[in-house]
Structure 1
Amino acid sequence: MSNIVLYMSPGSCARVSAIVLEELGLEFESRVVRFMKGEHKQPQYKLNNPKGKVPALVYNDQALTENVAIITYLNKLHGKLLPETGNELDSAKQIADLCFCNSTLHPLVTRIRMPSFFAGDENAKRVQDIAINAMDEFFHLIDDRLSHQDWWYKEQYSAMDAYLYWCFWRVQGAGYHVDKFPNYCEHAKKMEQRPAVQRAIARDEQAAKLLESEGLLFKPKPIKG
């Protein structure tokens, strides 16, 4: 049994942590949390994540939650996930970049992908439309930055690219026209060519098949209007 366990659910932002673990070449076990059964609210799971969410990473018997913290911790242990910096300010700026994905993009992603969860079926379209309009500004920012470089940090691939990729992938096909952002689209294609990303996607797909076989795969409701 691996001494690294990633608690995840298919489609969730736990894919970000899966990608960085794969990029580091670490052996880890991915365990599916069955949200439709309420496993995320059970005391046993809350020992690892009291917030009842994913991801939760158990590393050498110690639990850690939140992608920003997981990435920062793994980078301190193994390096390779973020560019080396010569001062604390630049390191803080990298954390700010990750927080941009976590606290700015991610909330809009969920409102585009699952607006009914926040507003009920009758108001879902309105919530989605507001989120789409808000997201455009930030996707333009990302697209502009990627217009003259391959990755977020110029020519150096990083965990920031993994998080940006998940945000892109999650809204793609959910009523958001990603084709308005050609550089971001190209970034996603390059991400999907990386073996580590392909392995993380395969884990996600395997988890989805497992839940579907159990009748526990969550599928967002169609949006009215």
Structure 2
Amino acid sequence: MSLQLYFAPGACSFVPHVLLEAAGAAFEPKMVKLHKGEQYGEEYKALNPKSQVPVLVTDGTAITQIVAITTFIADNFPAAHFLPTDLLQKARVLQTLAWMNNSVHPTFTHIFMPQKFTPDAAAQATIKAHNVQLFADQLREIDALIGQAKAAGGTYAAAAYGHDHFTALDAYTLTLTRWGSIAGIDPTRFTHAWPHIQTLAQHPSIAKVIERERLQLSMMAPA
């Protein structure tokens, strides 16, 4: 099976990027430079007409959307335990992953790119301010999830659902918490999530992706 992952540094594509490395998969990472508009080129749009990352190409077939891609990776690398075999546990992990992708992620989009939703500068400021507060509330929910996992004696987020293995929930927690710092939300306020992502960042597979994407866990200047 040939695999190519199209990713952009710091984007949500970090999630499958980390899973592929953690699984020990043989894959070709292909960087998409969003700031240069490469996602709008004809070659890339042939893979994903929506001009978004990530795209996972397997044996010539393109797969898009985080939940679909991460499920595909989990199913093809079962030894990594990226998803539970217990169906109820699996459903709970996927419901949280879908929430992160479909609810939390769009909140950040409203902060980072309010111009997508209105050309009016005053309205953009209102959209951004409202969504910063919403994003902080959502990050607190993620922080509480990590707290539940730790209280259950687990190491990883899915331990809150009885599955103490590294999953996409952990990779997305790192991504979203990091985005919080871009939005001006101090990640150190999250007493469960912040130590969790610091520990995750020391894992060789995750550290490799962080280095490849040239990321910092927090974009806020030290106090």
TM-score (normalised: structure 2)? 0.81
Measure, in 2, the Cα distance between the counterparts of 1:153 and 1:32: 29
Measure, in 2, the Cα distance between the counterparts of 1:179 and 1:116: 29
The question of whether the paired residues in 2 share the 8 Å contact of 1:116 and 1:123 is answered with: no
Taking structure 1 as reference, are residues 25 and 122 closer, same or farther at Cα in structure 2, changes over 3 Å only? same
Instruction: After TM superposition, give the deviation of residue 5 of structure 1 in Å.
Output: 1.1
The residue number in structure 1 matching 2:139 is: 139
Measure, in 2, the Cα distance between the counterparts of 1:173 and 1:37: 20
The residue number in structure 2 matching 1:19 is: 18
The residue number in structure 2 matching 1:40 is: 39
Measure, in 2, the Cα distance between the counterparts of 1:39 and 1:65: 17
Measure, in 1, the Cα distance between the counterparts of 2:197 and 2:184: 17
Structure 1: gaps (5+ residues): 207-225
Amino acid at match of 2:29: S
Measure, in 1, the Cα distance between the counterparts of 2:74 and 2:43: 28
| Matched-pair identity in % | 27
The residue number in structure 2 matching 1:174 is: 183
CA offsets, 1:3-41, max 9 Å, x none? Answer: 321112222111111111111111222222233443322
Q: Please, what is the CA RMSD of the aligned residues?
A: 2.2
Measure, in 2, the Cα distance between the counterparts of 1:181 and 1:97: 18
Taking structure 1 as reference, are residues 81 and 62 closer, same or farther at Cα in structure 2, changes over 3 Å only? farther
Instruction: After TM superposition, give the deviation of residue 119 of structure 1 in Å.
Output: 4.3
CA offsets, 1:37-78, max 9 Å, x none? Answer: 433223321221121111111122221111111110111111
Measure, in 1, the Cα distance between the counterparts of 2:185 and 2:118: 18
**Is the partner of 2:69 in helix, strand or coil?**
helix
**Is the partner of 1:153 in helix, strand or coil?**
helix
CA offsets, 1:162-182, max 9 Å, x none? Answer: 111111112214312323211
Amino acid at match of 1:194: H
Measure, in 2, the Cα distance between the counterparts of 1:28 and 1:82: 17
Taking structure 1 as reference, are residues 118 and 177 closer, same or farther at Cα in structure 2, changes over 3 Å only? farther
Amino acid at match of 2:67: V
Alignment of 1:96-115 (within 5 A): 96-115=95-114
The question of whether the paired residues in 2 share the 8 Å contact of 1:112 and 1:176 is answered with: no
TM-score (normalised: structure 1)? 0.81
Q: Does 1:156 align with 2:165?
A: yes
The question of whether the paired residues in 1 share the 8 Å contact of 2:93 and 2:158 is answered with: no
The residue number in structure 1 matching 2:203 is: 194
Q: Does 38-47 or 4-13 show the bigger shift?
A: 38-47
Amino acid at match of 1:52: S
Structure 2: gaps (5+ residues): 216-223
Q: How many positions carry a matched residue from both structures?
A: 204
Amino acid at match of 2:52: K
Instruction: After TM superposition, give the deviation of residue 81 of structure 1 in Å.
Output: 4.4
Measure, in 2, the Cα distance between the counterparts of 1:173 and 1:51: 25
The question of whether the paired residues in 2 share the 8 Å contact of 1:9 and 1:33 is answered with: yes
Instruction: After TM superposition, give the deviation of residue 201 of structure 1 in Å.
Output: 1.2
Instruction: After TM superposition, give the deviation of residue 116 of structure 1 in Å.
Output: 4.4
Measure, in 1, the Cα distance between the counterparts of 2:189 and 2:33: 35
Amino acid at match of 1:182: T
Measure, in 2, the Cα distance between the counterparts of 1:174 and 1:141: 17
The question of whether the paired residues in 1 share the 8 Å contact of 2:136 and 2:185 is answered with: no
